[in-house]
Amino acid sequence: MNAELSILDLFLQASLVVKGVMFVLLCMSVLSWTMIIKRSQVLSKAKKKVKVFDERFWSGIELTHLYQEIQGRKDLLSGTEHIFYSGFKEFARLHRNNAKVPEAVMDGATRAMRVSLSKEVESLESHLPMLATIGSISPYIGLFGTVWGIMHSFIALGAVKQATLSMVAPGIAEALVATAMGLFAAIPAVMAYNRLSTKVSKLENDYIHFMEEFSTILHRQAFASAKE
């Protein structure tokens, strides 16, 4: 037996069950990295959108003009743009009919913004639970492959009269590859999940801060109109 077996050699010599475990872990690792890359791009894009819209919002533009400006692409809105659009749309609708009841106007606008906020956070968190799942179960799947491989090696070893280290070592080595692959799939997934979750939390805070600041502006307008 060659002492410098490659991982491919160990895979080819492994039992069918261990091969299946390795294949599953390989697929989970590829899926994990795909989600990591995609979600990183999505969150980076969302962060840039927040910055761009904040600059536009605080540039001194009239809220009505800003609303009309983004109304033409309402189906493509996300982040603070979506929260602004939903809140101002509901505010304008209620204000036309209940100008003398500012509490009702603000209550409706706030509810609309909270719904949009919930949808935006849900979109940002998409696929993150899958990363957490991969990170938590991959080591156990790899461990199952290792246990099965070692058990298979010892069963085969029991069929011979004289056992040597060279006879059992390859079987144990190919079984341990399953554990290594489990860790290879789990560690990046866990690290990425923690990192991406932190980014989602920061974006959620940005959305909440914007909603509160926007609510304050609408509150002043609603009560000013009620006094007229």
Residue 4 has pLDDT above 60, yes or no: no
Residue, of 19 and 189, whose pLDDT is higher: 189
Which residues have C-beta within 8 Å of that of residue 32, sequence separation ≥ 6? 131, 134, 135, 185, 188, 189, 192
Write the CB contacts of 224 (distance below 8 Å, at least 6 apart in sequence).
none
Q: Give 106-142 pLDDT, tens digit per residue.
A: 999 999 999 999 999 999 999 999 999 999 999 999 9
pLDDT at 63: 92
Write down the pLDDT at residue 1: 42
Question: In this structure, what DSSP letter does residue 60 have?
Answer: T
Rounded distance between C-alpha atoms, residue 130 and residue 150, angstroms: 30
Cα separation, 187 vs 176, in Å, equals 17
Q: How many domains does the chain have?
A: 1
DSSP 8-state symbol, 153: H
Whether 70 is in a domain gets the answer no
d(CA 205, CA 211): 10
pLDDT bracket for residue 215 (50, 70, 90): very high
The answer to whether position 52 is within a domain reads yes
For residue 109, how many C-alpha atoms fall within 13 Å in the half-sphere facing its CB? 28
What angle is formed at CA 151 by the lines to CA 145 and CA 154, rounded to 5 degrees? Answer: 140
pLDDT band at 20 (very low <50, low <70, confident <90, very high): confident
Neighbours of 68 (CB within 10 A): 10
pLDDT digits over 73-114, tens only? Answer: 888 899 999 999 999 999 999 988 887 888 989 999 999 999
Q: Is residue 66 part of a domain?
A: no
pLDDT of residue 167: 64
Ramachandran class of 162: left when φ > 0, alpha when ψ lies in -120 to 50, beta otherwise: beta
The reply to whether 61 falls in a domain is no
Is the CA virtual torsion 101, 103, 108, 113 positive or negative?
A: positive
Domain-located, residue 43 = yes
pLDDT of residue 2: 47
The pTM of this model reads: 0.84
Which domain, by its residues, includes 27?
Answer: 7-56+75-227
- At residue 60, φ and ψ (nearest 5 deg) are 100, 5
Please check whether residue 1 lies inside any domain of the structure: no
The pLDDT of residue 82 is 95
**How do residues 128-186 score in pLDDT, each as one tens digit?**
999 999 999 999 999 988 888 788 777 766 666 665 666 666 667 777 888 888 999 99
**What does the alpha-carbon distance between residue 69 and residue 118 come to, in Å, rounded to a whole number?**
24
